Amino acid sequence: MSASRRWIIGIAAACVGVLVIALGGLAWWLPSDAQVAARVATEFEQRTGVALRVGAAHWTLRPGLSLELDELATVQKEPITVRRLVLHASLRDLLARRIRVDDVEIEGAVFPRASAREFRGRGDGSPAALGAFTMDPVPVGQVRFDDVTWIDRRGIALAYDGRIEFDPGWMPRRAEVSRRGVTPPARLELTREGEGIDRWRTDIEVAGGTWSGTAAVQALPEGNLRLHADLVPRDVDIVGLTSAFGRKTAVEGRINGRTEVMAEGANPIEWWQVLHTRTRFTVRPALLRGFDLARAVSTAGISRGGQTPLDELAGTLDTQGTENGIVLRYTNLKARSGLLTASGSATMLNRKVDGELAVDIVDGVVGVPLKVGGTLDAPELSLTGGALAGAAIGSAVLPGVGTAIGARIGQRMEQLFGDPSPKGAAKKKKRAAP
């Protein structure tokens, strides 16, 4: 069960505890706010396996059960904190021993990724553990949140506002989530297409463009849920997109294309951990920052810095969620401008870059193979060992064009027989030593 659902069930159980206290001794005793706070902390730990500190609590029974909790903090190395949490429940449901929270308000919460992951596999949130009470088909009617911050594995903190209305099975009927304080807006809207239809109209407004389409969920025989979405990006500014989520990019321009989203798991939290996307994109025009392809070809050596203006950049981007972060794989890359054309592929993980390019310069220099390395902040272009050795031979035979042809031949020799350069031979000898 996901961390978010354990939170909800834990707090719902706390509401039940409050009601049992109130109804069991209403004629002669009403619990104080301090007693309610203690009951909430006890119930939460029993349901989730994580201790909870409650700064203050206030509750009322008219016109319905309302419970306000302030300054919540889990007892963890990096605590999950909530400045204010308010729950509203119907007395009619609770008197019928049915758990349903009509409305949840969350203000000023902080969720460190490592702390949220500690909830996995803890506690007992099953309906059987709720005693004489049963869980309503829609345990939570809606959740509204303001200034809720998620801190990822790299320590990047992103704040969100939003609202989610639920149908049975924790499926959203409508949802709106936006990045707090981002201009132009970065906002997602989901609208269910019909009663009992597990398909949603998906509209994303981000970086001055849109990324819209449909998303569908399929129940699998083993109990998991499969997510599949088809989305179309239109005129999305790449720099604005990445900066809206605390990232940087080496490419400038506006993206158009088509995106496919796939995931499988028990709930949306598990989806996020294994999410796979594939985007076939085109950027016209584009600017590569940190790369000067023409200079790298002309020098036949390591090149850092500079930029490359392009008339068009196209290719396919696959992203895959892993335990170590999101892996980005660029394939079938094609770039062209009045000065050059290039093709290649690249992989990025934790801002480290690894890839290869073949660059054709207009004026007769063709097929120069380049290695892409370094980081996204400081990328490097260089010839591989075999290509560099071939370039040196080609330059001695025929300066200019011979350099490029030699590099191409050197790269082919390296692919067939290994790196023929002295550095490559040393590596080969070192590997063979044991």
pLDDT above 80 for 15 = no
Structure confidence at residue 14 as a pLDDT band (50, 70, 90): low
pLDDT score recorded for residue 295: 77
Instruction: Provide Rg for the chain, Cα atoms.
Output: 28
pLDDT above 70 for 410 = no
| Between residues 99 and 138, the one the model is more confident about | 138
Structure confidence at residue 70 as a pLDDT band (50, 70, 90): very high
DSSP state of 180: T
pLDDT score recorded for residue 257: 97
**Measured torsion, CA atoms of residues 15, 18, 20, 26, in degrees rounded to the nearest 10:** -140
Segment 181-215, tens digit of pLDDT = 999 999 999 999 988 789 999 999 999 999 999 99
pLDDT score recorded for residue 339: 72
Segment 324-357, tens digit of pLDDT = 788 999 999 999 988 788 889 999 988 899 998 8
Average pLDDT, the chain: 79
Nearest-angstrom CA–CA distance, 355 and 375: 11
Q: 3-class SS at 166?
A: strand
Q: What is the average per-residue pLDDT within 405-422?
A: 43
Per the CB < 8 A criterion, the answer to whether 48 and 1 are in contact is no
| Between residues 201 and 431, the one the model is more confident about | 201
Lowest-confidence region among 118-127, 159-168, 288-297, 321-330: 118-127
372 phi and psi, to 5 degrees? -105, 125
Nearest-angstrom CA–CA distance, 309 and 253: 10
- Hey, which residues does 373 pair with through a beta bridge? 380
- Give residue for tokens 């004629």: 27
Segment 369-403, tens digit of pLDDT = 788 888 888 888 877 554 444 444 344 333 444 44
Nearest-angstrom CA–CA distance, 181 and 2: 28
392 phi and psi, to 5 degrees? -65, -40
Per the CB < 8 A criterion, the answer to whether 97 and 133 are in contact is yes
Per the CB < 8 A criterion, the answer to whether 33 and 57 are in contact is yes
pLDDT score recorded for residue 337: 87
pLDDT score recorded for residue 182: 94
pLDDT score recorded for residue 183: 93
- Give residue for tokens 């260089």: 382
Nearby residues of 197 by Cβ (< 8 Å), 6 or more positions away:
none
Whether pTM > 0.95 for this model: the answer is: no
pLDDT score recorded for residue 384: 56
Nearest-angstrom CA–CA distance, 152 and 141: 28
- Give residue for tokens 């449909």: 214
DSSP state of 241: H
pLDDT score recorded for residue 363: 55
pLDDT score recorded for residue 390: 44
Per the CB < 8 A criterion, the answer to whether 81 and 115 are in contact is no
Per the CB < 8 A criterion, the answer to whether 432 and 425 are in contact is no
Segment 271-318, tens digit of pLDDT = 877 899 999 999 999 998 888 887 777 666 667 788 889 999 999 999
**Measured torsion, CA atoms of residues 417, 421, 423, 425, in degrees rounded to the nearest 10:** 40
- Integer CA distances (angstroms), 90 to 59, 295, 341, 346, 393, in order: 13, 70, 66, 55, 83
Structure confidence at residue 413 as a pLDDT band (50, 70, 90): very low
Q: What is the average per-residue pLDDT within 256-277?
A: 87
Q: At what angle do helices 33-48 and 3-24 cross, to 10 degrees?
A: 140
Buried b (16+ CB within 10 A) or exposed e, 246-274: eeeebbbbbbbbebebebbbeebbbbeee
Per the CB < 8 A criterion, the answer to whether 43 and 14 are in contact is yes
